[in-house]
């Protein structure tokens, strides 16, 4: 009876846990991700029209406010003011609409719209703008979102005469609204206040008088104009017709040569697609476009017009120009001469077929399959093999997706996005076991998250981004230096439990250290630097008064406890901080345009003040938003980076007397590029140099401190175009620490920190937090023991990093086990049984095989092509046959067995009946093996190298061993001690490949 009870209990627990895991929303998170084109007809959800993600980036939601069209071919408009009184830049457009509802959308920019409240009929009664309406974006036929290239934005606000956005929506079929539901279609504009080097614009080519005869198979509409403005550079195009259009093509004609800008069927999603050729258009060139129509099926003439039964012939060119000569909108409406179009390439007359099935799929889907249309980037991309995607393999086993290995075009931005997606996907694997965490010994979800991050660390350390034959270099290319750092245990990882106390910080702007090694935090309290804080460098919120909270916090670097607090009612917008040899504070305030020297006794005594309060300037006695200050520990001379308005470094004596100033240097004397926001300073005492983080130029420049003579420049693609802050350590001959910055939406490398060899300029290591994300890393300091602190202005936090070995030693102290790794091994091993009888694959010649010392390498038999095909097909079929239910049951077997053992033992002690429920003391078989792995006592371990090598496209490099040290239970049984040095052991760094 007791045995029967145990069995019933086991099955009850299994089915309960399985049903909960299936019902858990996190289990199905991949299938219900929020899409950019979320339901446009949901007018009930409250939306924030304006969202500020950090002091520079913000988004604006523009929606029609609950429109109910009463007749077909209605045009409705709504207007939204530009949210800044000065210049801002649109860097991304995200549509929220469906072709079932909206025939098309157009976004206009103008100074004075016809109305500023609600919506109006802009098709019959009124127009869009009272002045010139500038087209900025257009959408139709479920077109996916379109991202602008890096450093390109549509300029609005300020003196651009674009003070309002007007969204126009054409509703083609009113019968869709016969149930009287309301429509809230629209756009989200992602914007930045950071000046963009290139200004985007729109060139519209359209036919105004084309007539399409009924029944005529082919009718051409030709448009051509001579270009008469400054050079422009097309990077995207869009075609638009109604139902009779077959193909639309656009060209640049120069010296009789026709160069294609773009060609597309207007019946496909009418997005902005990358141009066919990277070209420029200069004064005297001709821009030409042709629309090919058919009149078949019509009984009357079809003319150009605004209704669905009319036609349109539009070819949009999205371009950029130099920001000093940019023209935001141009148009061409002239008919092209037959003589000119006699030489048009034949491709312009060949229709692009669109299958009826494709048309039906577009109508049935509320969102297209393709996520984003990536526009033309200036750098050439090379095709490489995407390797090292651990999640793809696990997903293959789970049957969630098919692509184990896929091709892509490598560039740093895409690699960064792929890295973030990979992290999220590994997270989803772990989240599927969320209900099991407490039963597996984890006290909190955060403990299991750390285990998840350690799985990712193995992947990140050992995976191969591209094969050795590729000439493309991944983002973390300096593998030699990184390997050296890893071998020395110097890779920086986050201390997840620091600080131990709540620091109650505002925007963290500056960090420093005193002579005791204490951390000093300079923050903004309840003041926030937003888009309305400054106009032309002048602070606009003086009426808020100074910050009433303590803005200077002295913190214990080990425990995070506040030791001292000061700086009340003194600062308006804190920015930079440093200390001198006497531990006095040196600080900058960008609102006051001043530099302060304060005593460190907590009394906030002003020992020296440079600059005039609230008076910006560029002479010897004024600053304009000074960003940072540093002090020469030997001479006491003061160096100020000035700053957001000025592009210079100023040098003062210890008493505050002006000595000199200088601008940027350059190794290329013929092209001296000035500073673009010198944002952070660090002094190199062993080299007598001063280094500057030139933020918007994405570089570090170093100078002789005494003379200002240029020494060197460090500029890396991995910086993503911006360097926010730097720090220096004389260790190992000189190490430079840096953090990059938050760019306009989605246009750069990931936010991370860097360790750089000062002499060779080589990136030795890159690091980022594991339990959170960098949002706006604003300052960085490094201690004598190599600990690194990063202040994040957007998350109001300070994040601590230490070397990997030090962090691993603290794993057990934090009560966190690495048991989850072993479970993952057991889980994968259990599902690889179909592969066990297959012949081994031959070794990969280009990869050095890593083996344990006790293993002997035996020759591997060669595999015939037919056998390779058989291996591939069997492996693929076996992986696809594993269901989610079986995986879940395998994961829960150890848990159920443990519970069953406990219940049986409890029952046995109470009943003293040893015959009803017996459990062997040394379980054997698959269940026992898995249980042994959970306890950390399994004799063998999973060799991921062999498994990965059996899949096409994966090298075995760095995956021959993946293991953890024994658990606490095992160590206690062996020596009876409680180890304080449990480490997470990574395999040796991969060897060089040919």
Q: Which residues are annotated as a binding site?
A: 103-104, 170, 240, 242, 312, 511, 524, 575, 644, 679, 695, 778-779
Among 237, 203, 230, 232, residue whose Cα is nearest residue 320? 232
Rg of the chain taking only CA atoms, in angstroms? 32
661 in catalytic set = no
The one catalytic residue among 99, 206, 240, 270: 240
User: Cα angle vertex 656, ends 654, 662, to 5°?
Assistant: 95
Among 801, 807, 627, residue whose Cα is nearest residue 725? 627
Q: Residues at the annotated binding site for a protein? A: 524, 644, 695
* Cβ neighbours, 10 Å, residue 172: 19
Tokens for 88? Answer: 């801002």
Dihedral sign of CA atoms 758, 761, 765, 769 in order: positive
| 78, 107 Cβ separation under 8 angstroms | no
Among 160, 165, 115, 111, residue whose Cα is nearest residue 136? 165
| Phi, psi values for residue 849, rounded to 5° | -80, 135
The CA distance from 47 to 187, in Å, is 12
240 in catalytic set = yes
Q: Residues at the annotated binding site for Ca(2+)? A: 511, 779
The CA distance from 246 to 353, in Å, is 8
Burial readout 255-269 (b: 16 or more C-beta within 10 A, e: otherwise): eeebebbbbbbbbbb
The CA distance from 708 to 701, in Å, is 11
* Cβ neighbours, 10 Å, residue 918: 10
Among 17, 396, 49, residue whose Cα is nearest residue 188? 49
Tokens for 772? Answer: 């959170």
| 598, 533 Cβ separation under 8 angstroms | no
877 in catalytic set = no
Tokens for 177? Answer: 């609204």
| 906, 6 Cβ separation under 8 angstroms | no
* Cβ neighbours, 10 Å, residue 72: 16
103 in catalytic set = yes
181 in catalytic set = no
| 221, 239 Cβ separation under 8 angstroms | no
**Count of alpha carbons within 13 Å of 472, Cβ hemisphere only?**
20
The CA distance from 575 to 697, in Å, is 20
Number of H helices, E strands in the chain: 14, 51
The one catalytic residue among 96, 105, 136, 168: 168
Among 393, 288, 399, residue whose Cα is nearest residue 340? 288
Tokens for 673? Answer: 């590029």
The one catalytic residue among 105, 136, 205, 312: 312
Burial readout 471-502 (b: 16 or more C-beta within 10 A, e: otherwise): ebebbbbbeebbbbbbeeebbbbbbbbbbeee
622 in catalytic set = no
| Phi, psi values for residue 321, rounded to 5° | -135, 160
The one catalytic residue among 96, 104, 593, 951: 104
Cis amide leading into 785 (omega within 30): no
| 565, 519 Cβ separation under 8 angstroms | no
Please report, to the nearest 10 degrees, the dihedral formed by the alpha carbons of residues 95, 278, 387, 389 taken in order.
-10
The one catalytic residue among 96, 170, 456, 593: 170
The CA distance from 447 to 424, in Å, is 17
Q: Residues at the annotated binding site for Cu(2+)? A: 103-104, 170, 240, 242, 312
* Cβ neighbours, 10 Å, residue 187: 22
Residues for the chain: how many in total? 994
Tokens for 688? Answer: 């007598």
DSSP state of 196: P
DSSP state of 93: E
The CA distance from 592 to 640, in Å, is 15
The CA distance from 560 to 553, in Å, is 11
408 in catalytic set = no
The one catalytic residue among 96, 242, 456, 459: 242
| Phi, psi values for residue 943, rounded to 5° | -95, 95
| 241, 317 Cβ separation under 8 angstroms | no
Q: Residues at the annotated binding site for Zn(2+)? A: 575, 679, 778
Residues tagged active-site: 103-104, 168, 170, 240, 242, 312
């Amino acid at each position: 009876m007791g045995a029967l009870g145990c069995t019933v209990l086991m099955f009850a627990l299994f089915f309960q846990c399985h049903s909960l895991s299936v019902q858990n929303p996190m289990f199905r998170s991949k299938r219900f991700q929020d899409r950019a084109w979320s339901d446009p007809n949901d007018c009930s959800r409250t939306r924030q029209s304006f969202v500020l993600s950090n002091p520079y980036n913000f988004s604006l939601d523009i929606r029609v406010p609950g429109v109910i069209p009463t007749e077909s071919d209605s045009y409705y408009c709504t207007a939204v003011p530009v949210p800044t009184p000065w210049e801002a830049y649109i860097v991304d457009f995200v549509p929220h609409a469906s072709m079932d509802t909206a025939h098309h959308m157009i976004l206009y920019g103008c100074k004075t719209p016809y109305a500023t409240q609600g919506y109006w009929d802009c098709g019959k009664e009124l127009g869009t703008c009272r002045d010139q309406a500038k087209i900025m974006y257009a959408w139709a036929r479920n077109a996916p979102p379109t991202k602008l290239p890096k450093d390109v934005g549509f300029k609005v606000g300020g003196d651009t005469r674009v003070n309002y956005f007007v969204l126009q929506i054409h509703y083609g079929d009113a019968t869709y609204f016969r149930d009287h539901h309301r429509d809230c279609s629209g756009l989200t504009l992602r914007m930045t206040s950071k000046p963009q080097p290139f200004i985007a614009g729109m060139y519209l080519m359209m036919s105004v008088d084309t007539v399409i005869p009924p029944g005529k198979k082919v009718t051409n509409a030709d448009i051509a104009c001579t270009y008469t403005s400054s050079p422009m550079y097309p990077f995207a195009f869009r075609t638009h017709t109604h139902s009779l259009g077959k193909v639309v093509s656009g060209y640049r004609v120069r010296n009789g040569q026709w160069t294609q800008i773009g060609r597309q069927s207007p019946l496909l999603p009418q997005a902005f697609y990358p141009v066919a050729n990277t070209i420029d258009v200069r004064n005297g060139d001709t821009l030409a476009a042709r629309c090919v129509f058919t009149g078949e099926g019509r009984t009357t003439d079809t003319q150009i017009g605004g209704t669905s039964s009319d036609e349109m012939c539009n070819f949009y060119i999205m371009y950029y120009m130099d920001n000093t000569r940019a023209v935001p909108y141009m148009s061409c409406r002239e008919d092209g001469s037959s003589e000119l179009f006699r030489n048009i390439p034949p491709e312009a007359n060949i229709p692009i077929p669109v299958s009826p099935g494709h048309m039906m799929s577009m109508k049935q889907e509320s969102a297209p399959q393709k996520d984003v249309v990536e526009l033309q980037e200036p750098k050439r991309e090379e095709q490489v093999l995407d390797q090292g995607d651990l999640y793809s393999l696990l997903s293959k086993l789970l049957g969630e997706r098919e692509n184990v290995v896929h091709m892509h075009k490598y560039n740093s931005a895409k690699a960064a996005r792929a890295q973030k997606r990979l992290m999220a996907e590994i997270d989803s694997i772990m989240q599927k076991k969320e209900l099991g965490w407490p039963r597996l010994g984890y006290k909190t979800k955060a403990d299991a998250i750390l285990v998840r991050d350690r799985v990712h660390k193995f992947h990140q350390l050992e995976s191969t981004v591209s094969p050795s034959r590729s000439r493309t270099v991944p983002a973390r290319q300096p593998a030699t230096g990184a390997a050296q750092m890893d071998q020395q245990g110097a890779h920086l990882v986050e201390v997840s439990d620091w600080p131990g106390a709540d620091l109650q910080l505002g925007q963290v702007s500056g960090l420093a250290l005193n002579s005791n090694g204490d951390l000093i935090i300079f923050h903004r309290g309840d003041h926030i630097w937003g888009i309305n804080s400054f106009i032309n460098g002048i602070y606009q919120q003086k009426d808020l008064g100074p910050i009433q909270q303590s803005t200077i916090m002295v913190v214990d670097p080990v425990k995070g406890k506040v030791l001292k607090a000061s700086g009340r009612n003194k600062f308006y917008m804190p920015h930079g901080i440093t200390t001198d040899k006497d531990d006095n504070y040196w600080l900058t305030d960008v609102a006051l345009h001043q530099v302060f020297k304060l005593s460190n006794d907590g009394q906030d005594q002003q020992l020296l003040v440079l600059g005039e309060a609230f008076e910006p300037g560029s002479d010897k006695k004024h600053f304009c938003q000074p960003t940072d200050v540093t002090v020469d520990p030997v001479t006491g001379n003061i160096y100020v980076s000035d700053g957001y308005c000025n592009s210079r470094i100023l040098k003062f004596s210890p008493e505050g007397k002006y000595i000199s100033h200088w601008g940027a240097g350059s190794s290329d004397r013929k092209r001296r590029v000035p500073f673009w926001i010198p944002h952070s300073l660090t002094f190199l005492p062993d080299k007598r140099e001063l280094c500057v983080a030139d933020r918007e130029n994405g570089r570090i420049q170093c100078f002789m401190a005494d003379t200002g003579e240029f020494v060197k420049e460090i500029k890396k693609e991995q910086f993503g175009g911006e360097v926010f802050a730097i720090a220096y350590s004389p260790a190992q001959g000189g190490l430079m620490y840096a953090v990059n910055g938050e760019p306009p939406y989605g246009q750069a490398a990931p936010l991370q920190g860097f360790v750089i060899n000062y002499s060779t300029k080589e990136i030795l290591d890159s690091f980022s937090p594991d339990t959170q994300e960098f949002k706006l890393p604003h300052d960085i300091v490094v201690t004598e023991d190599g600990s690194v602190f990063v202040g994040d202005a957007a998350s109001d936090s300070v994040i601590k990093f230490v070397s990997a070995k030090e962090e691993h030693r603290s794993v057990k102290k934090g009560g966190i086990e690495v048991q989850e790794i072993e479970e993952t091994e057991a889980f994968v091993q259990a599902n690889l049984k179909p592969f066990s009888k297959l012949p081994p694959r031959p070794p990969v010649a280009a990869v050095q095989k890593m083996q344990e010392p006790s293993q002997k390498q035996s020759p591997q038999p060669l595999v015939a092509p037919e056998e390779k095909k058989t291996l591939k097909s069997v492996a693929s079929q076996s992986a696809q046959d594993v269901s989610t239910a079986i995986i879940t049951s395998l994961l829960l077997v150890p848990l159920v067995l443990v519970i069953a053992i406990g219940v049986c033992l409890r029952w046995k002690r109470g009943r003293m009946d040893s015959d009803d429920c017996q459990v062997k003391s040394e379980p054997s078989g698959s269940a026992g093996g898995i249980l042994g792995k959970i306890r950390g006592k399994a004799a063998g371990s999973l060799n991921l190298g062999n498994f990965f090598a059996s899949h096409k496209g994966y090298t075995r490099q760095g995956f021959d061993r993946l293991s953890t040290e024994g658990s606490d239970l095992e160590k206690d049984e062996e020596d009876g001690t409680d180890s304080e040095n449990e480490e997470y052991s990574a395999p040796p760094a991969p060897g060089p490949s040919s």
